[in-house]
């Protein structure tokens, strides 16, 4: 009985590791295993030792189970090596662009072990501020407890397919780190579909940017510099916010507000809602619940909602990041956007494809997210300093 149980456990462990190693994976399981391979390695070692200690390795089945566990653990080491490669990839992209990495990203041992981002003692959180009339018009601010001067601003936009998600569930490692380094970071909520119809989501992002700039003095911020970031649908909205400056129809009721963006860092974003090159599997929910009109009936609306077709010479600096193993939104989505933007933009456009990363890799503390946070920090600081020297 114990041997059979060991076999079942080893089979499950092996399949989970195999899934995380594949590009065409079951996403959530791949995320949980692939982002935290060291945790799972330790767990599998302990489980294996326990089964060996109680005599589960008997006969062919027992030895086969032990072999499965060993191969699973070797796979976890491969996943760890992929995660460690992220540092070199990010450093190489930035180095080729003349940007040096800023030191090392500090991290507490508890963060690495517990995974869940904790609020560092050196920063304060001001939660639940209203930036508009809707109940979804809320944001949280993070800033250093002892600011040394006017703080550049970073707006974090959550993902969730434009239909779900919240400001306190994504991007916390980056937000906390940038706040520690002297940035005012705003994590925002926005109206969600199906109640909201695009461009409601984008209008809310712009409303939040305008509100932050208007109230910058109250929070010790520098109104001249706002960067935007976000993952998935948040990356889509961040890119659009950066590419649609000066379009009053996207600012109903606050047309005169300054919603300009000085830098943009979209992660695994959706850049072509029409999916012209058939990068993704079909997403019928976008038409049914987000756009609420077919591309045939209103192709212009879909073009206006696609960063790929909004590229412009005046785009701010972009640092686009995407996981090489993202199966929900394959990296070709970002590659084709970067190619189109690079062809026209007067500003810097960088692209880093993160080895082994899948969708949502930056939501928690991990080896990979640590190196990505480090790179984003270096990019933003570089361009903030460049803006100040002009």
Can 224 be counted among the known catalytic residues?
no
Of 275, 271, 292, give the one whose Cα is nearest residue 341: 271
Q: How far apart are CA 303 and CA 295, in angstroms?
A: 9
Sheet with 221-231, side-by-side order of all strands = 123-130, 138-144, 184-188, 151-157, 221-231, 263-267, 318-323, 349-354
Residue of 10, 25, 72, 232 with catalytic role? 232
Strand partners, 213: none
Burial of residue 100 (number of CB atoms within 10 Å: 0-12, 13-18, 19+): exposed
Measured at the CA of 135, the angle between CA 198 and CA 221, to 5 degrees, comes to 90
Q: Which residue out of 359, 371, 381, 383 is catalytically annotated?
A: 359
Our answer to whether residue 383 is catalytic in this structure is no
Q: Which residue has the tokens 């239909």?
A: 163
326 is a catalytic site residue: yes
Q: Between the CA of residue 235 and those of 3, 13, 121, 271, what are the distances in Å?
A: 48, 33, 29, 8
| List 326, 334, 366, 371, catalytic entry | 326
Residue 76 tokens, joined? 């976890």
Query: What is the phi/psi pair of residue 127, to 5°?
Result: -100, 155
Q: How far apart are CA 134 and CA 200, in angstroms?
A: 11
Catalytic residues: 232, 326, 359
């Amino acid at each position: 009985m114990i041997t059979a149980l060991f076999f079942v456990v080893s089979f499950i462990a092996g399949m989970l590791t195999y899934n995380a190693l594949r590009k065409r994976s079951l996403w959530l399981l791949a995320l949980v295993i692939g982002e935290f391979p060291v945790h799972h390695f330790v767990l599998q070692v302990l489980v294996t030792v326990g089964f060996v200690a109680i005599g589960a390795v008997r006969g062919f089945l027992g030895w086969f189970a032990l072999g499965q566990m060993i191969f699973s653990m070797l796979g976890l080491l491969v996943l760890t090596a992929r995660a460690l490669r992220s540092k070199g990839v990010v450093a190489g992209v930035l180095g080729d662009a003349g940007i040096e990495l800023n030191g090392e990203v500090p991290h507490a041992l508890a963060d690495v072990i517990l995974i869940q981002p904790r609020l560092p003692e050196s920063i304060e959180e001001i939660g639940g501020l209203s930036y508009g009339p809707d109940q979804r018009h809320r944001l949280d601010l993070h800033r250093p407890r002892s600011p040394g001067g006017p703080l550049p601003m970073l707006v974090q936009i959550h993902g969730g397919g434009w239909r779900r998600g919240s400001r306190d569930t994504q991007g916390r490692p980056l937000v906390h780190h940038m706040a520690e380094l002297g940035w005012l970071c705003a994590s925002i909520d926005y109206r969600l579909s199906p109640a909201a119809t695009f461009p409601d989501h984008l209008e809310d992002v712009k409303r939040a940017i305008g509100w932050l700039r208007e109230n910058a003095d109250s929070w010790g911020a520098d109104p001249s510099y706002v960067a935007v970031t976000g993952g998935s649908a948040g990356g889509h909205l961040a890119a659009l916010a950066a590419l649609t400056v000066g379009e009053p129809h996207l600012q109903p009721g606050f047309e005169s507000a300054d919603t300009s963006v000085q830098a943009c860092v979209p992660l695994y974003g959706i850049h072509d809602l029409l999916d012209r090159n058939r990068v993704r599997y079909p997403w019928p929910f976008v038409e049914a619940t987000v756009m609420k009109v077919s591309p045939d009936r209103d192709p212009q609306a879909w073009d206006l909602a696609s960063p790929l077709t909004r590229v412009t010479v005046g785009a701010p600096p972009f640092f686009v990041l995407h996981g090489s193993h993202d199966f929900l939104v394959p990296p070709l989505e970002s590659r084709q956007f970067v190619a189109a933007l690079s062809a026209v933009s007067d500003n810097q456009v960088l692209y880093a494809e993160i080895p082994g990363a899948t969708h949502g890799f930056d939501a928690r503390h991990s080896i990979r997210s640590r190196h990505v946070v480090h790179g984003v920090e270096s990019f933003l600081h570089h361009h903030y300093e460049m803006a100040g020297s002009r």
